[in-house]
Every structure is written in structure tokens, then in C-alpha cells.
Structure 1
Amino acid sequence: MEPVAMHISNGIINGPVAAVFAAFALAALVVCVLRGRRDLDDRLAPLAGLVAAFIFAVQMLNFPILTAGVSGHLMGGALAALLVGPWVGALCVAVVLVVQALVFGDGGVAMLGLNITNIALLGTAASYLLIALLLRVVPRTPAGLAATGFVAGLVSVVVAALGFVGQYWLGGTVDLGGNLAGLAGTMVGVHVLIGVGEGLITATTVVTVATVRPDLVYALRRQGPATAAAPAAGGVR
């Protein structure tokens, strides 16, 4: 068993379940396109391309977890949600997953709907909901923004891992230990460690961008009138 292979390979989940999630992922991405078009402007469009390229590049770099040959990499949902918003962010991550599956064989093509659901949709949605909540209560300082990015990154990884557990429960075809609770515990335990790396990368990147160009951080711009003036007055300092 390789519990941290978030890119599900062909044959791990049966065909009917994979087909259902493919249809769900396609419908959800259509919604993201329709909603994301409202946000796209001369500032967000090029940034979305840069975010997708950055996520693609960093996903190619694995970092070791524990000592048993286990490794993880950035998923990117929280970072994308912070910088370009949940709708465009989910599209950025989905594009990366499609390219990885079709060109590099990272994740089965037949399992693409499952992987998009977990990493691009669930991970991004969970992280943005948490970001929207945290940015209303934490100080608008580099430390506050870093804490938000760190927590959102960690949570997004765990949520994506639990998404796989649910899919395996619905249609798993290989033996991953025979105990769903045990599988969930293993997935969560290991992905919390991976999430620490995700959170650190997310926090560092977002604080760097916000320090130089706070107007490029979608999550800061989308706050209510009471807090919107903070980035406009000079950004996160």
C-alpha cells in the first residue's frame, strides 16, 4: 500500500464510481468556468497562468516524509484559492492534473475525475472556506496571512486525502488493508505531515506576493468594506 499517492492510479477504484466522479468533476468545472469568468480581468488572467505554472513546477518536486520512502508534494489548492480565488483556482489545479495525467502518467487517465474532485475541487473549496473565515478574525499582518495560508494548506491536503477514502469506500478494487477506519487513519496521519510542507510553501509564497503586490492576492481583495482598505493602503506589512 502506498497511502500517500494522491494521484489515484488506474484500477484502484472501479469503473462505475470513476465515471460518476468524472461526470461530477466535469459539471463542477463548467460551473467554475462560468463563475470564474466574472473574476477574470487584466490582472487576474496572467496571474492565473503563473499560478498554474508554479503549481505544476512545484508538484514535480517531492519532499520526504518519515523514513519509509514516503514523499509528498504541493497540491496547490490553498495557494491558488488565496491568489486567484476558488473558481479560477480550481481550474488552475485541474489543468495541472490533466497535463500530468496525459503527459507524465501521474495518475490514471481513467481516474482523472476522481483526482480532480479530490485535489482541485475538494481541496480548493475547503481551503477557501477556511481562508474566508480566518481573514475575518486574524490580524492583517504578515504573520496573520502566513498563519492563514499555513492552516488552509494543511487542511486542504487532509480533505483531499479523505476524499480518496470516501471514493475507495464506494468502489475500491484493491486491498488496502481491509479496514476503512484504519485506511482513513493512515491517510490522515501521513497527510497531516505532508500538509505541513504544503502549508509552509503556501504561507511563504502568499506573504511574499502580498508584501510586494497586495492587490494581486484575491483573498485580500474580496474581504468586506471594513477590511478592504488595508491592502489598498499599502498592503500587508
Structure 2
Amino acid sequence: MHVPDGFIDAPTSAVAGVVAAGAVAVSLRGARKELDERTAPLAGLVAAFIFAVQMLNFPVAAGTSGHLLGGALAAILVGPYTGVLCISVVLLMQGVLFADGGLTALGVNITNMSVIGVVVAYAVFRALVKVAPRRPGSVTAASFVAALVSVPAAALAFVGFYAIGGTTDVPLGTVAAAMGGVHVLIGIGEAVITALTVGAVIAVRPDLVYGARDLRQPLKLRVGGELVDAPAAAPEPVAAPRASRRTLLLSGLAVSLVLAGFVSFYASASPDGLERVAEDKGFADSAEEHANADSPLADYGVRDVDDARLSGGLAGVIGVGATVVAGGAVFWAVRRRRADDTAPASTGGDA
């Protein structure tokens, strides 16, 4: 659902850019509380994994495909503030390197897919886990519903932008109905991918999943010389980690490289939900040529590499690598800032 340049007028795009910049600034500050030396590398991997899976368009209806947005997945694995940063890094890499999503529309895309997608998904997720039994299965089930809801929410956010600054005179109700309908179907695919991924990580390292942080041993209190459970409802114990953090990170990176470098060749070539709606409702022609259309990696291929399989595979591998590096740099800087904030201030002694 990458909005190209030309769908939304310049003033509305500028306002969206300000909103997106503000959200990223808030997230940079909020992520300090979510990231530590254990989870910062995981956040970089989550960004790279989302980049890889977004290359895997899956069919959802005749002549229409969809792909992961990733807001729910990122928020549940590494936290909502860090999740906004993950999706923003992915969108930046896609727009700058691969000419996917307009540069003037970057603020619209970050607001829709990163901010709205993450906020809605995490709000639904937290509401569900608060009332569900405190066990890993509840986290996985809640992630399914959260992801399912987040996709049409992001799609309707685009409709809101189109209502304010759409460059083509198309009946708003028609656009809203079409966007909502197709993105409910895409949301099902998003929900399946999110639940499977969250469930897989919980199975091996539940302690690293931000959304499962309440699944811990019951708090014990000593009353009258005896240990008793705290008054709050006692969550079920979390299973011991089955894999080292390094093993998880290397395995996740390997999976991302395989998905982007090999499996992506077999992704659906049909237009995604937004592209299909734009074609059917008559505003596809308002899209402008991307400013980076001549990028060596434009359209997820490597220029001058004639073999389509090799070209796409190399582009995918480069994208995963670039996202890991960019995301890792951002999250390392945020983690270091947190360390600086929590370090005890030095005091000078009297001479």
C-alpha cells in the first residue's frame, strides 16, 4: 500500500510529512525505554525481516495481491515506539533505494503504515491480552486479531488523506468501500504472517518478545513467614529460552535473506490493493514518475543484470543488508542514548 507521488496534493503531503516527522521524533524518545542491549539487535532484524516479507506479494482476489504492512508484527515483537521506527526505516529504504513509494508521499506512507498501523494494532493487542489468560497462546491469538484490524485501518487512513488532498475527482464513498474491502482480505494474510512469526519467536525466546513481557513467574510475597502469591492475577510461567540470542538473530537474518533473495521471485505479480483500486476507480493515471526511477535498484532489480531471477534476488539481498545496517545504526544510537540517560552523573570532589 505504498502511495506514489501524485495521488495526494503537495500541501496535504507536506502536513503528513510534519505529522510523520513528529511521530518519529516521539518514537525516538519512547524507544529508549523499550530497547536494551538484548533487544536493540532484534529491532534491526525485525526491520530487515519486514522488508523481506513485503517483497512477497500474495494473491487475495482475482487480479489483486497484498503484502505485509508489518505494524502489528513490529509493535508486538519490539514495542510500539520501536515499531514505528522499524516501519519508517523500511519505508525510507524502499523509497530511496527501490523507488517504491513516492518521496513526496513519504510522510503519507509513514503516517498510514507506520503510525496508524502500529498504534491501532498495539491498542487492539493490549486490550485483548489484558482480558485473555496470561499464556503464550493468548499473545499469538491477540497478535492475529491486531494485525487483521490494523490493515483496513491504515487503508482508511489513506482514504482520509485522499478526502483532504486527492488530486482526482473520484467519489469518496467509492474509494472508501473499495479500499476497505480489499484490505480486509489483505489483513487476513497479514494476520496469518504476524501470528506465525510471533508464535515462532515466543516458542524459542519468549523473553525477547515485548508483547509477552507480562508472561513471567508470579510475584511472591512473604506474609506471616509464608510465601504467598501477590494479589494480582498470576500469569503462567514462561518457558525457558530454547535458543541463544545469537542463534535467533542469525536464523532470522538467514530467513530474511532467503525470502528476499529467492522466494520473492515467486511472489504474485498482480497489482496490490491500492494499485488495483486506483486502476478500477480511475485515479491511477495521477501517479507521477518516481524521483529515483533511475536508481540502480529501482523496481527491486539490479540494473544491467539481465537474468530476472538473479536481478531480483540480488536486489532483495542488498535491501535486507541495507535495512539491517540502517536499522541497526538507529537502534544502537537509541540504546546508547538510553545508557547515557541512565548513567549516574559524575560528581566532583572538593580539592
Per the TM superposition, whether the score is higher than 0.5 is: yes
What is the RMSD computed on CA atoms of the aligned residues? 1.8
Q: Among the aligned pairs, what percent are the same residue? A: 54
- Answer yes or no: is 1:187 the counterpart of 2:179: yes
Instruction: Return the alpha-carbon distance in structure 2 between the equivalents of residues 50 and 96 of structure 1.
Output: 11
TM-aligned CA distance change 1:161 to 1:83, over 3 Å: same
Instruction: Return the alpha-carbon distance in structure 1 between the equivalents of residues 120 and 11 of structure 2.
Output: 26
TM-aligned CA distance change 1:14 to 1:228, over 3 Å: farther
TM-aligned CA distance change 1:35 to 1:142, over 3 Å: closer
Task: Give the secondary-structure state (helix, strand or coil) at the position aligned to 1:136.
Answer: helix
Aligned to 2:274: none
Instruction: Return the alpha-carbon distance in structure 2 between the equivalents of residues 29 and 187 of structure 1.
Output: 26
Deviations 1:169-222 (A, max 9, x none): 0000024xx221121111111000000000000000001111111101101115
Instruction: Return the alpha-carbon distance in structure 1 between the equivalents of residues 176 and 53 of structure 2.
Output: 26
Aligned to 1:125: 119
Task: Say whether the 8 Å CA contact 1:77–1:90 is kept in structure 2.
Answer: yes
Aligned to 2:324: none
Instruction: Return the alpha-carbon distance in structure 1 between the equivalents of residues 73 and 156 of structure 2.
Output: 19
Gap runs ≥5 in structure 1: 1-5
Task: Say whether the 8 Å CA contact 1:35–1:87 is kept in structure 2.
Answer: yes
The correspondence for 1:221, drawn from 213, 225, 228, is: 213
Instruction: Return the alpha-carbon distance in structure 1 between the equivalents of residues 118 and 168 of structure 2.
Output: 28
TM-aligned CA distance change 1:60 to 1:231, over 3 Å: farther
| Alignment of structure 1 residues 34-183 onto 2, 5 Å | 34-67=29-62, 69-175=63-169, 178-183=170-175
- More off after superposition, 35-44 vs 143-152: 143-152
Task: Give the secondary-structure state (helix, strand or coil) at the position aligned to 1:42.
Answer: coil
Deviation of the 1:147 alpha carbon: 1.8
Aligned to 1:25: 20
1:74 aligned partner, one-letter code: L
Deviation of the 1:223 alpha carbon: 7.2
Deviations 1:117-158 (A, max 9, x none): 000000000000111111111233454223211111111101
Instruction: Return the alpha-carbon distance in structure 1 between the equivalents of residues 39 and 236 of structure 2.
Output: 20
The correspondence for 1:14, drawn from 9, 12, 17, is: 9
2:201 aligned partner, one-letter code: V
Aligned to 2:277: none
Task: Give the secondary-structure state (helix, strand or coil) at the position aligned to 1:230.
Answer: coil
Aligned to 1:3: none
Runs (4+) of structure 1 exceeding 2 A deviation are: 139-146, 222-235
Instruction: Return the alpha-carbon distance in structure 2 between the equivalents of residues 203 and 57 of structure 1.
Output: 17
TM-aligned CA distance change 1:179 to 1:202, over 3 Å: same
2:60 aligned partner, one-letter code: I
- Answer yes or no: is 1:201 the counterpart of 2:198: no
Task: Give the secondary-structure state (helix, strand or coil) at the position aligned to 1:64.
Answer: strand
Number of equivalent positions: 227
Task: Say whether the 8 Å CA contact 1:222–1:228 is kept in structure 2.
Answer: no
Instruction: Return the alpha-carbon distance in structure 2 between the equivalents of residues 132 and 143 of structure 1.
Output: 14
- More off after superposition, 16-25 vs 36-45: 36-45
Larger Rg over CA atoms: 2
Aligned to 1:230: 236
Deviation of the 1:101 alpha carbon: 0.6
TM-aligned CA distance change 1:143 to 1:229, over 3 Å: closer
TM-aligned CA distance change 1:57 to 1:227, over 3 Å: farther
TM-score with structure 2 length normalisation?
A: 0.62
Deviation of the 1:161 alpha carbon: 0.2
